[in-house]
C-alpha cells in the first residue's frame, strides 16, 4: 500500500517507496504510477481508465514525496510551475563529508548518455543548480538539506559526486560504495500553489528509519 499524504479532486500527494520505479520500464517491476491508477480505479469503482498526470520524477532508488495531477488542467499548471521554478523541492541526503563547507551552491552543466543511463558534468549541456546546507556530521558522513533549483536527471547525485562528496549508497556515482548500501537520498519537502484553488501547499516527509539516516536520529527523529 502506498502512503497517501494528501488528496483532493485535482491532486494526489504520496510517498514513493525506495526502489520502486515511478513508471513502467524495461524491468517490468511494479511501478508507482500504475499502482496508484489501479488503486483509484478499485477504490472509486471507476469503469474506465483513470487519469493520473506525471509532472515530476524521482530516480528509482529514491524515496519520498511526489505529487500527481488528477486532471489535465492540474497537470498543465503544475508542469508550468516546475518549468518556471515556482515549485519548491527540498531533499535530504547523506554524503561523504571530506570537509564540505557548511553551506554551498553548486552550478554545473550536465549531459546524459542514454546508452548507459548516466549523467556527467561537462563544459556544455543543461544547466543544473542547487544549494545545500549541512545539518549534522558523523564520522565521515554529512547530513545535508538540498534545495533543488533545477530538475535534471540524477542531478543531486552527479553534482555532489563531481564536487568530491558522493552520496552514501550511490552505486552509479560513488566509487567507494559497498554492495549492501542503499542510496541515501529522500524527497523531503514539496511546496507549491494549488493549481486550482491557488492555496499555498507545503508537504514534508522524513526518511524511512534505516541507515545511514538513523545515524542522525537526534536531528531527524527526535
Coil, helix or strand at residue 209: coil
For residue 141 the three cell numbers come to 558522513
d(CA 152, CA 136): 26
Contact at 8 Å (CB) between 23 and 54?
Answer: yes
Q: 184: closest CA among 153, 152, 147, 146? A: 146
* 59 tagged catalytic: yes
For residue 44 the three cell numbers come to 472509486
Contact at 8 Å (CB) between 145 and 137?
Answer: no
Torsions phi, psi for 192 (to 5 deg): -165, 170
One of 25, 44, 59, 180 is an active-site residue; which one?
Answer: 59
**Burial class (CB within 10 angstroms; exposed 0-12, middle 13-18, buried 19+) of 77:** buried
Active site residues: 59
Amino acid at each position: 500500500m502506498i502512503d497517501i499524504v494528501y488528496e483532493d479532486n485535482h491532486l494526489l500527494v504520496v510517498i514513493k517507496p525506495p526502489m520502486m520505479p515511478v513508471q513502467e520500464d524495461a524491468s517490468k517491476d511494479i511501478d508507482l504510477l500504475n499502482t496508484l491508477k489501479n488503486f483509484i480505479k478499485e477504490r472509486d469503482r471507476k469503469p474506465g481508465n483513470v487519469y493520473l498526470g506525471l509532472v515530476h520524477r524521482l530516480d528509482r532508488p529514491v524515496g519520498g514525496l511526489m505529487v500527481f495531477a488528477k486532471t489535465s488542467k492540474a497537470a498543465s499548471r503544475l508542469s508550468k510551475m516546475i518549468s518556471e521554478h515556482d515549485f519548491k523541492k527540498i531533499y535530504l541526503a547523506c554524503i561523504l563529508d571530506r570537509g564540505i563547507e557548511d553551506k554551498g551552491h553548486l552550478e554545473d552543466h550536465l549531459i546524459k548518455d542514454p546508452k548507459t543511463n548516466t549523467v556527467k558534468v561537462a563544459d556544455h549541456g543543461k544547466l543544473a543548480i542547487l544549494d545545500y546546507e549541512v545539518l549534522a556530521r558523523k564520522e565521515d558522513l554529512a547530513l545535508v538539506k538540498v534545495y533543488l533549483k533545477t530538475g535534471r536527471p540524477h542531478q543531486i547525485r552527479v553534482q555532489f559526486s563531481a564536487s568530491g562528496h558522493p552520496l552514501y549508497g550511490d552505486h552509479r556515482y560513488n566509487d567507494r560504495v559497498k554492495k549492501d548500501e542503499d542510496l541515501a537520498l529522500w524527497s523531503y519537502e514539496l511546496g507549491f500553489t494549488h493549481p486550482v484553488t491557488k492555496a499555498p501547499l507545503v508537504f514534508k516527509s522524513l526518511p524511512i528509519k534505516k541507515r545511514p539516516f538513523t545515524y542522525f536520529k537526534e536531528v531527524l527523529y527526535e
